[in-house]
Amino acid sequence: MLTVIDKPALPSRRREAHKGDFGRVLIIAGSVGYTGAPSFASRAAVRSGAGLVFLGVPQEIYGIEAVKNDEAMVFPLPGESGRLSAGALSEILARLGRCDSCLIGPGLGLGDTLYNIVYSVIEACRVPLIIDADGITAVSKRIELLSGAKCPIALTPHEGEFLRLGGDLSKGREYAARSFAEEHGVTLVLKGSGTVVAFPDGSAFINPTGNPGMAKGGSGDVLAGMAAALVPQLGFSEGIKAAVYYHGLAGDIAAEKYGQYAMTPSDTIACLGEVLR
């Protein structure tokens, strides 16, 4: 039986705290034509309390992302044809070693070069890793990498991406998420109405927040950025559950303010302040 996620508690911050106490988040995302995804993720991470957010994007879209993001520290990575090139990997891995969590995948694009970057990050990572969007497509082609990972991993697929991973929904979302998480030793956030969060130990939770107005491109990027920010602050499992719960709750407040038709992912991010306060 699934447990409903309770409203997570956020710890009080010490008066003498500094930005390094609240997590250094590395986000690897974006490509030409997909400049919204990295911005949604990084803005959500900042709004979720991360101390430092580093956003690595292909050099071709660096100027766009730098203008969109004042609080996150955007940096250019070597690119080719608007996407990351193989030359980006060394800097990604160097920065990964100095961060407390990593998100890879939003708007990244498809292709062997990008897939190999994702695989190398999985193999090298020793901090919590969130894999979303195009990163999930990469994983679907080498699913065996998950069980050999040396870090806790959370995958955040919608149902189509879950099927691409080899998941089976024939026995229901809850059973599917739990079975996948146990088999591959990862945390699975199966997005949709009543998002299911399943952990490798067999425990699973259903989220009571959220609404159909969030069924818009960019909402998943917001959730992924929140997860990357909250995991260093709350611990892995509690951070993932908190991200899912508060993402939906912020979406509910946005729906009350603007209506389900008109609300946007940016509205959800803006409502995080009210939710987390």
Residue 200 counted as domain residue: yes
Render pLDDT for 199-215 as a digit per residue (tens, 0 to 9).
999 999 999 999 999 99
Half-sphere exposure of 106 (CA within 13 A, CB side): 30
In what helix (H) or strand (E) does residue 275 lie, and over which residues does it extend? helix 265-276
Terminal C-alpha separation, the chain: 32
Nearby residues of 235 by Cβ (< 8 Å), 6 or more positions away: none
Phi, psi of 52 (to 5 degrees): -140, 130
* Alpha helices in 48-194, H assignment, sequence order: 62-68, 89-96, 112-124, 134-140, 159-164, 173-184
> Could you tell me the pTM of the whole model?
0.98
Render pLDDT for 160-179 as a digit per residue (tens, 0 to 9).
999 999 999 999 999 999 99
Residue 62 counted as domain residue: yes
Residue 242 counted as domain residue: yes
Residue 246 counted as domain residue: yes
CATH number at residue 99: 3.40.1190.20
Phi, psi of 190 (to 5 degrees): -90, 100
In our burial notation (b when 16+ CB lie closer than 10 A, e otherwise), range 197-232 reads: bbbbeeebbbbebbeebbebebbbbbbbbbbbbbbb
DSSP letters of 50-75?
Answer: -SEEEEEEEGGGHHHHHHH-SSSEEE
Render pLDDT for 205-253 as a digit per residue (tens, 0 to 9).
999 999 999 999 999 999 999 999 999 999 999 999 999 999 999 999 9
Phi, psi of 74 (to 5 degrees): -85, 135
> Average pLDDT of 22-26?
98
Render pLDDT for 86-128 as a digit per residue (tens, 0 to 9).
999 999 999 999 999 999 999 999 999 999 999 999 999 999 9
The answer, yes or no, to whether residue 1 has pLDDT greater than 90, is no
Residue 16 counted as domain residue: no
Q: Which domain holds residue 162?
A: 21-276
Phi, psi of 60 (to 5 degrees): -65, -25
Split into its structural domains, the chain has a count of: 1
Residue 14 counted as domain residue: no
Residue 28 counted as domain residue: yes
Q: Are strands 83-84 and 24-28 parallel, antiparallel or unpaired?
A: unpaired
Residue 218 counted as domain residue: yes
**What percent of the chain stands above pLDDT 70?**
100
CA–CA dist 88, 105 (Å, integer): 14
